[in-house]
């Protein structure tokens, strides 16, 4: 029973990180119908920015904020310089561009910061809390992780549902041509979508590093799990991203816990294949039959 509780708590924490990555992928998919394979690597780069600042004795919170802002800028920059030029070509071209960016970012990070594993001290303990006499698999940092991802999710939801900018983003995602005819500057909206996605990706990077160390491809597995979560949620739904993230987090935690850590990645692929076979649209997609 104690093991089960531990695996569950662990699964929830990791699930929130996968949810953040899934959210980033969903944001970009909704706007541009592209899966951004460089999403994890972009988060890795901004996490290196944070680590470099902390190395120079700058406070964690300043470094954390700078990394998120760096994500915002990096996301916008990638959209304007790399994605915009191939916008009207086949979607495959843009996907290959993101794969190229993934390799370029990981190689550049290795050149600039070196390939060794680096630790990233968080201001919270990563040692599990004590309940009574036994230690549980929930550390103060885990609580911070859950809270931070939830805050970003709620923030994005409020942005989408309650603001004019969010209305523009939804219109541009569903009907770009109609949105333009109503005066929405769709190009700017897409840039904003990539920027916000990169913030969510950077958050995931910052939250992964204290537990898994930081190295140039430390986000590879996280991206695969986040991608599986996004597919599970339907790739179109922010709520689906959150639930998908939690499902993947829990499933992998149980698989890894009971069957051994080596089976985790295989578990993710099994889930991915089963979902694609059983419900290719994901669990949370509302597929409205379109009427003319």
Partner 1 sequence: MLEIRDLSTAYGPVLALDKVSFEVADGTITAVLGANGAGKTTLLRTISGLVRPKEGFVTYGGHDLTRMAVEDIVRLGIAHVPEGRGVIQELTVEENLRLGSLWRRDRGDSRLALEEVYELFPPLAGRRGQSAFTLSGGERQMLALGRALMARPQALLLDEPSLGLAPLVTAQIMGRLRQLTQRTAMTILLVEQNARSALSIADQAVVLSLGRVVLLDQASTVAGNAELRHHYLGF
Give residues in contact with partner 1 (CB under 8 A): 164, 167-168, 170-171, 174-175, 177-186, 288, 290-292
Instruction: Indicate the SS3 state at residue 244.
Output: helix
Q: Which is nearer to partner 1, 34 or 186 (CB)?
A: 186
Q: Which is nearer to partner 1, 81 or 288 (CB)?
A: 288
Q: Which is nearer to partner 1, 170 or 279 (CB)?
A: 170
Smallest distance, partner 1 to C-beta of residue 182, A:
5
Smallest distance, partner 1 to C-beta of residue 174, A:
5
Separation of alpha carbons 242 and 269, rounded Å: 19
Smallest distance, partner 1 to C-beta of residue 101, A:
28
**Which tokens go with 150?**
């939830």
Smallest distance, partner 1 to C-beta of residue 169, A:
11
**Which tokens go with 207?**
């939250």
> What Cα–Cα distance (Å) separates residue 70 from each residue in 111, 231, 242?
19, 27, 24
In the numeric block, the tokens 């996280």 are attached to 222
Q: Which is nearer to partner 1, 180 or 211 (CB)?
A: 180
Q: Which is nearer to partner 1, 89 or 185 (CB)?
A: 185
Q: Which is nearer to partner 1, 22 or 184 (CB)?
A: 184
Instruction: Indicate the SS3 state at residue 233.
Output: coil
**Which tokens go with 9?**
């708590």
Smallest distance, partner 1 to C-beta of residue 286, A:
8
Smallest distance, partner 1 to C-beta of residue 178, A:
4
Separation of alpha carbons 251 and 264, rounded Å: 9
Q: How far apart are the first and last CA of the chain?
A: 55
Smallest distance, partner 1 to C-beta of residue 217, A:
37
Q: Which is nearer to partner 1, 96 or 178 (CB)?
A: 178
Number of Cβ atoms within 10 Å of the Cβ of 270: 14
DSSP line for 110-177: HHHH-SS-B----SS--SPPEETTEE-S--HHHHHHHHHHHHHHHHHHHHHHHSHHHHHHHHHHH-HH
DSSP state of 81: I
């Amino acid at each position: 029973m104690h093991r089960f509780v531990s695996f569950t708590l662990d699964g929830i924490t990791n699930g929130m990180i996968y949810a953040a990555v899934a959210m980033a992928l969903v944001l970009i998919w909704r706007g541009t119908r592209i899966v951004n394979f460089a999403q994890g690597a972009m988060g890795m780069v901004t996490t290196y920015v944070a680590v470099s600042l902390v190395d120079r004795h700058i406070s964690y919170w300043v470094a954390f904020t700078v990394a998120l802002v760096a994500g915002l800028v990096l996301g916008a920059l990638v959209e304007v310089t790399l994605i915009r030029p191939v916008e009207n070509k086949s979607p495959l071209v843009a996907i290959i561009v993101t794969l190229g960016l993934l390799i370029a970012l990981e190689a550049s990070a290795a050149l600039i910061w070196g390939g060794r594993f680096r630790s990233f001290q968080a201001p919270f303990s990563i040692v599990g809390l004590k309940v009574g006499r036994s230690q549980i698999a929930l550390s103060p940092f885990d609580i911070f992780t859950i809270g931070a991802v939830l805050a970003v999710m709620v923030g994005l939801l409020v942005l989408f549902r309650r603001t004019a900018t969010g209305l523009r983003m939804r219109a541009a995602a569903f009907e770009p041509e109609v949105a333009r005819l109503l005066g929405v500057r769709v190009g700017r909206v897409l840039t904003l979508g990539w920027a916000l996605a990169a913030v969510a990706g950077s958050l995931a990077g910052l939250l992964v590093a204290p537990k898994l160390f930081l190295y140039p491809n430390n986000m590879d597995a996280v991206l695969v799990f986040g991608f599986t979560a996004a597919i599970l949620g339907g790739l179109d739904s922010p709520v689906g991203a959150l639930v998908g993230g939690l499902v993947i987090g829990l499933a992998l935690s149980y698989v890894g816990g009971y069957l051994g850590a080596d089976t985790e990645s295989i578990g993710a692929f099994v889930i991915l294949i089963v979902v694609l076979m059983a419900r290719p649209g994901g669990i949370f997609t509302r597929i409205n039959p379109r009427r003319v």
